[in-house]
Structure 1
């Protein structure tokens, strides 16, 4: 579940944050009151944080992704979302053990929103 969240987190870009005081990040100084646009999807693919970040690896350990944010802005619903995801995936695989894509992966289309990430449709063979 954690690797799926890291690899394809549902929220790519949360609402903007505003600096309370001057802050310097990687040599760039941001004055107080400026908008900062965090990109969770980019952070979860950071080569400095993850070995081979563009590879889906369900055995990845440790997996310190930020799919649910971080610190003060950490998603309150994260534990419920994890539980729901696990229950749904386990139930789906148990009921349809030979589950497979019904189309070539190259034909999958993603939503064009920068805020919420996900497939437009997921055609499956449920056998």
Structure 2
């Protein structure tokens, strides 16, 4: 499940408020400014992940930021992964012939902070 979370995370970006002036990468961020952290982009960082645009379910060291990190780690992350694993396993067991009918027909909701399907064309 970590490979899937890294490859295409639901939360693409989060917003934080700068707590105190700090310089990062030659730029000063001022206290009170908003900072957008693009988790989807960080999970595709070629300096961290070899061949980052390839979904590899057996990729080792899959330390992604889809659920945050440190004090900002989503406490619901492990539950979300467990629920997804149970749901996917149940679908595969109950509908063994489930197939995507047309990848080009996937419809995504337009939201820069979250990535979610609005339609998933399948047959079973």
Normalised by the length of structure 1, the TM-score is: 0.90
Matched position secondary structure for 2:23:
strand
Within a 5 Å distance, the mapping from 1:25-64 to structure 2 comes to 25-64=24-63
Normalised by the length of structure 2, the TM-score is: 0.92
1:113 aligned partner: 111
1:12 aligned partner: 12
- In proportion to residue count, which structure has more strand? 2
Runs of 4+ with >3 A deviation: none
Whole-angstrom distance in 2 between the partners of 1:26 and 1:55:
28
Per-residue Cα deviation, 1:33-79 (whole angstroms, up to 9, x for no partner): 22111111111111111111111111111101001111221111111
Whole-angstrom distance in 2 between the partners of 1:56 and 1:82:
17
Q: How many residues get paired?
A: 124
Post-superposition offset of 1:26: 2.0
What residue ranges of structure 1 are gaps of 5+ in the alignment?
none
Whole-angstrom distance in 1 between the partners of 2:72 and 2:61:
22
